[in-house]
């Protein structure tokens, strides 16, 4: 990973990473991303009622719709740390603001790591000046590495487009793995763009993209206290006012970047060996479509069958049956890729299952369920549940 290619950042952005000493392995564990001018900003946060201190602070800071910097630490979640934890998040923002000549409200804070331990502010305070010193226009890769915890690979995605005849770009980094679940999978994701865009337009494109990407993935059904996706657009592309076409191009690009990052997160789900798209067709209503997809995607038994490369459609039927949707068992069709294994609720026999099992040896496949109750569709990306998930999570803290 030391040899990851250093990519050039979006115009007007710089980033850096240092080892503050918060991670047990003493590797890089703090990152800073900042824009040289004011940026339009938007964010979405965990729906968990237990929210980490940085989530509370950043929600407050982002209400202005503008921001300049994001400071992140890995190794300590600063969650379940009470009022002192919130003070620590606030102090972090203040120290960064002071070093960069900004207002504390311009700084967004994110954390990931162990819950319930006070943040070592001695280490954080000592690291911030070094973070500021080392800011550079090729620092994104280092920042992406520093925010990793149980992640096994780097997650960066980019998009280049045109608006008002001027080139603009979008870059995103993310960390994920484990505890991945809608709404707001447990993960951090930071997106930068140089597009000039109105706050309302940014929010519109951003929320839509989150809904189709991070809110459509699942690893283990748990939801974290620290989830956060942030976007900063600093306008340095000087594209002028966005036309309808320009907006759509930006929206497409943002959607692509987020979807790629979301899929990387599932692919890197703790211990995962397979990426599986769960597609629900023919649902009676939109809510049923997503509920069915999520229940199948989160079923431990279904996910273990994926690991075992076993087209055990009975487990899929059982998951559908408890998902609370409108369904008729006798109308259900199920496919693995293009191999139909269930027709009208009945198995298609050993040959079909054998061919489906072959599809399941692939690293990536799609399970499609047609409920034949209506016209609604939805889809969730999930992974298999493996021996390694247990190993990683049984040993995480100890």
Give the interface with its own copies as residue ranges (CB under 8 A).
Answer: 47-51, 77, 79-82, 114-117, 178-179, 220-225, 298-301, 304-305, 307-310, 312-315, 317-322, 325, 327, 329-330, 342, 344-347, 385-387, 389-391, 393-398
With respect to its own copies, which residue has the nearer C-beta, 70 or 385?
Answer: 385
With respect to its own copies, which residue has the nearer C-beta, 366 or 393?
Answer: 393
State the Rg of the chain over Cα.
22
Q: Where do we find the tokens 């609720």?
A: 345
Cis peptide before 180, with omega less than 30 degrees from 0?
Answer: no
CB of 16 to its own copies, least distance (A): 28
CB of 324 to its own copies, least distance (A): 8
Rounded-to-10 torsion of CA 377, 283, 379, 211: 70
With respect to its own copies, which residue has the nearer C-beta, 100 or 332?
Answer: 332
Q: From the candidates 46, 186, 192, 225, which is the catalytic residue?
A: 186
Contact 227, 187 (CB under 8 A): yes
CB of 131 to its own copies, least distance (A): 26
* Backbone angles phi and psi of 218, in degrees to 5: -155, 130
With respect to its own copies, which residue has the nearer C-beta, 134 or 331?
Answer: 331
| Nearest residue to 212 (alpha-carbon basis) of 379, 11, 393, 35 | 379
Spell out the residues 6+ positions from residue 259 whose beta carbon is closer than 8 angstroms to its own.
Answer: 209, 212, 213
CA distance 219 to 204: 27
Q: Is 225 designated active site? A: no
CB of 328 to its own copies, least distance (A): 9
With respect to its own copies, which residue has the nearer C-beta, 257 or 292?
Answer: 292
CB of 307 to its own copies, least distance (A): 5
Spell out the residues 6+ positions from residue 352 whose beta carbon is closer than 8 angstroms to its own.
Answer: 339, 340, 341
Return the DSSP state at 82: H
With respect to its own copies, which residue has the nearer C-beta, 123 or 357?
Answer: 357
* Backbone angles phi and psi of 183, in degrees to 5: -80, 135
What string of DSSP letters covers 158-216? EEEEEETTEEEEEEEEEE--SS--SSS-S-EEEEEE-----HHHHHHHHHHHHHHTGGG
Tokens of 371: 């409920």
CB of 281 to its own copies, least distance (A): 18
| H/E run at residue 341 | strand 339-343
Q: What amino acid positions are annotated as catalytic residues?
A: 186
């Amino acid at each position: 990973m030391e040899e990851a290619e250093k990519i050039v950042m979006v115009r007007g952005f710089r980033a850096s990473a240092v080892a503050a000493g918060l991670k047990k392995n003493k590797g890089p564990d703090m990152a800073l991303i900042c824009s040289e001018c004011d940026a339009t900003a938007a964010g979405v946060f965990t729906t968990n009622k237990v929210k980490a201190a940085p989530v509370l602070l950043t929600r407050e800071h982002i209400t202005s719709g503008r921001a300049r910097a994001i400071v992140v630490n890995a190794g300590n979640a600063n969650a379940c740390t009470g009022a002192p934890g919130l003070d620590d998040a606030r102090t972090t923002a203040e120290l960064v603001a002071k070093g960069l000549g900004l207002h504390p409200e311009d700084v967004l804070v994110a954390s990931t790591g162990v819950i319930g331990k006070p943040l070592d502010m001695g280490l954080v305070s000592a690291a911030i000046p070094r973070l500021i010193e080392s800011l550079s226009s090729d620092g994104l890769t280092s920042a992406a590495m520093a925010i990793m915890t149980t992640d096994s690979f780097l997650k960066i995605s980019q998009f280049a487009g045109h608006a008002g005849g001027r080139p603009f770009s979008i870059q995103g980094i993310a960390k994920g793995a484990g505890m991945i679940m809608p709404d707001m999978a447990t993960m951090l994701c930071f997106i930068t763009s140089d597009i000039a865009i109105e706050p309302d337009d940014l929010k519109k494109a951003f929320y839509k993209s989150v809904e189709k990407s991070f809110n459509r993935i699942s690893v283990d059904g748990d939801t974290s206290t620290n989830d956060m996706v942030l976007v900063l657009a600093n306008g340095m592309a000087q594209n002028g006012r966005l036309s309808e076409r320009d907006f759509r191009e930006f929206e497409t690009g943002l959607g692509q970047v987020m979807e790629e990052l979301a899929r990387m997160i599932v692919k890197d789900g703790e211990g995962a060996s397979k990426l599986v798209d769960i597609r629900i067709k023919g649902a009676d209503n939109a809510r049923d479509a997503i509920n069915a997809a999520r229940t199948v995607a989160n079923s431990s038994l279904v996910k273990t069958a994926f690991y075992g490369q076993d087209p055990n459609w009975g487990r899929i039927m059982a998951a559908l049956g408890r998902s609370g949707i409108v369904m008729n068992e006798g109308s259900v069709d199920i496919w693995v890729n293009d191999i139909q294994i269930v027709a009208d609720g009945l198995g298609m026999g050993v040959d079909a299952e054998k061919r489906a099992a072959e599809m399941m040896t692939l690293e990536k496949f799609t399970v499609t369920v047609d409920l034949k109750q209506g016209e609604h569709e939805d889809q969730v990306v999930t992974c298999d549940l493996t021996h390694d998930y247990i190993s990683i999570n049984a040993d995480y803290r100890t």
